[in-house]
Amino acid sequence: MAGQDSYLWRLLVRGWRRATRCSILAPTMSEQLVSPVMPFQGFREIDDFGGGGYGAPRRKVCPECEKDPRCKECEGKGYIVYPHEGLDVAGKVMDQIVLPHDARVAHVGIAYPNSDLGSIHLHGENFRTRLLYVRIASDLTKGMKAEQGDLLGTLQYVAGYHQAKSPGKRMTNHTHLDFWIKKGEAWVCTDPTPYLAASGMA
């Protein structure tokens, strides 16, 4: 348990440091997110598929070569390392998924082709989010307006989806949260951790 607390603390501190470096002010009361998973059970820690923190390293097959040492993309490794641009919030199958902030439902779809794992895009005045691996509530439709904390659906078994493709590996079940804030006229992908921490949720 102490290890988990330490890991969560490092995530929060890292998020605040990133926010400071980017000149993002500490979130005000109107700029706080609630956990999309209820009840909140922490963030996805490092498992056989990687870590769930914002900026955690991810690996994908290099599209340019097959371990060609002359490849400028991967330098012959055969894979490219890139940052995780979201935050994974841990949860159990059928846990409630709620709206992190006031928003309009901009899109309802699927996370991966040929899967039943849901995806929902939420557009607010200052925030935009995307949540993955959600079984969307039947009464939720594109264009609807909803308030922070309103029910969006329930958490699906994304861990089972990936484990079936890689037998022997284990993944912590979670929803994936992408988060953008408005800076001028642009929407900028941002670490949501400080906004969750400000609410006292974490």
Using CB atoms within 10 Å of the CB of residue 148, give its burial: 0 to 12 exposed, 13 to 18 middle, 19+ buried: middle
Sheet strands (E) in the chain: 37-38, 57-61, 79-83, 87-90, 96-98, 103-110, 118-123, 127-132, 134-136, 145-146, 151-155, 174-183, 186-189
pLDDT of residue 122: 98
Confidence of residue 30 (pLDDT cuts 50, 70, 90): low
pLDDT of residue 11: 47
Q: State what percent of residues in the chain have pLDDT above 90.
A: 65
Q: Which residues pair with 177 in a beta bridge?
A: 87, 131
What DSSP state is assigned to residue 35?
A: P
In the chain, which residue ranges form alpha helices assigned H by DSSP?
2-21, 158-165, 193-198
Using CB atoms within 10 Å of the CB of residue 138, give its burial: 0 to 12 exposed, 13 to 18 middle, 19+ buried: exposed
pLDDT digits (tens, 9 = 90+) for 84-106: 999 999 999 999 999 999 999 99
Res. 1: pLDDT tops 50: no
Amino acid at 99: L
Confidence of residue 81 (pLDDT cuts 50, 70, 90): confident
Using CB atoms within 10 Å of the CB of residue 53, give its burial: 0 to 12 exposed, 13 to 18 middle, 19+ buried: buried
Distance between CA atoms of residues 53 and 57, nearest Å: 9
Q: Which domains does the chain have, with CATH numbers?
A: 2-55+85-198 (2.70.70.10)
Res. 4: pLDDT tops 90: no
Q: Are the CB atoms for 44 and 174 separated by under 8 Å?
A: yes
- Report the predicted TM-score, pTM, of the whole model to 2 decimal places: 0.80
pLDDT of residue 65: 75
For residue 162, which phi and psi values (nearest 5 degrees)?
A: -75, -35
Q: Are the CB atoms for 97 and 152 separated by under 8 Å?
A: yes
Q: Are the CB atoms for 108 and 136 separated by under 8 Å?
A: yes
